Structure 1
Amino acid sequence: MQRRWMMLGAVMTMLSVAIGAFGAHMLKDTIGPAAIATYETGVQYHMIHALALLIIGLTAGQLGASTKLKWAARLLFIGIIVFSGSLYVLSISGIKILGAITPIGGVAFIAGWLLLALDVWQRGKDRS
């Protein structure tokens, strides 16, 4: 589990840099300021949650794999795809209905962070 999520976290972090650079250099003059702001929000959340996948991999290495950690990683990955992905497509295409699925990715982020917190907290209680 540790290697898989650290590798995926590294790839997703690399993609967030590439997608951010694409937006800054290729889209800046093509789409308006509001769309660029939406795109940048997607990049920020993408990067933060890609780093979180690395943290989950490190946590699994320190504490061992668990069902909660696996689901936390899955939910954060789904959140990147749905939340950030919908913002990328929305900002480039202007298809407003995509904004309706963005909160689904946000809920996945929240659930992933909650599972990570619960896993670490419960393991800490077991050691005391």
Structure 2
Amino acid sequence: MSYTTCFKFAALFALLAVLLGAFGAHGLRDTLDAGHLATFETGVRYQFYHAIGLFIIGFLITLKQGEKWLRYASYLLIAGILLFSGSLYLLACNQIADIPSWIGPITPLGGLCFMSGWGCVFISQMRVKGDFE
């Protein structure tokens, strides 16, 4: 993934996090109970954190160091946002829509994608010759 594509995904996911956060705070406040609303907010929060992470990865890609691992990381963070946050949005809305029960086990897969993505960032930076070598 190029740094410009990474920036585009980061901007899109950040925009959607703000929109979904506002929708949750204003549109769902009177519709969902406190527990479901908290689940929705967790999805928004993690989406925003990882959108910022995609911006950081994009900047690291511009340094041309550890690019292969950073590309892996960007794909994994995108998958994590879709699986983790996406499944939380659906689970939160289960109170107002009939969401299939198989959605629940998808959330940990998204979390695994997040962890793997950050692991790839770590590996990419360990491979860079730095001041301590």
TM-score, L = length of structure 1: 0.93
Question: Residue 50 of structure 2 corresponds to which residue in structure 1?
Answer: 49
Cα offsets for 1:78-98 (capped at 9, x unmatched): 000000000001101244542
1:107 paired to 2:112: yes
Structure 1 residue 65: Cα displacement? 6.3
Whether contact under 8 Å (2:66, 2:124) holds in the other structure is no
Tell me, which stretches of 5 or more residues in structure 1 are unaligned? none
1:116 paired to 2:121: yes
Secondary structure of residue in 1 paired with 2:128: helix
Secondary structure of residue in 2 paired with 1:63: coil
Secondary structure of residue in 1 paired with 2:63: helix
Structure 1 distance, partners of 2:54, 2:129, is 20
Tell me, which stretches of 5 or more residues in structure 2 are unaligned? none
Structure 1 distance, partners of 2:46, 2:130, is 31
Structure 2 distance, partners of 1:122, 1:64, is 8
Secondary structure of residue in 2 paired with 1:123: coil
Structure 1 residue 125: Cα displacement? 5.1
CA gap of 1:127–1:62, structure 2 versus 1, over 3 A, is farther
TM-score, L = length of structure 2: 0.89
Decide which structure has greater helix share: 1
Structure 1 residue 34: Cα displacement? 0.3
Structure 1 residue 62: Cα displacement? 1.9
Once the two structures are superposed, the pairs formed by residues 70-109 of structure 1 within 5 Å of their partners are 70-94=71-95, 95=99, 96-109=101-114
Structure 2 distance, partners of 1:8, 1:65, is 20
Structure 1 distance, partners of 2:129, 2:10, is 25
Structure 2 distance, partners of 1:22, 1:4, is 27
* Percent of paired sites with the same residue: 38
Whether contact under 8 Å (2:39, 2:88) holds in the other structure is yes
1:14 paired to 2:15: yes
Q: How many residues are matched?
A: 128
Whether contact under 8 Å (2:77, 2:114) holds in the other structure is yes
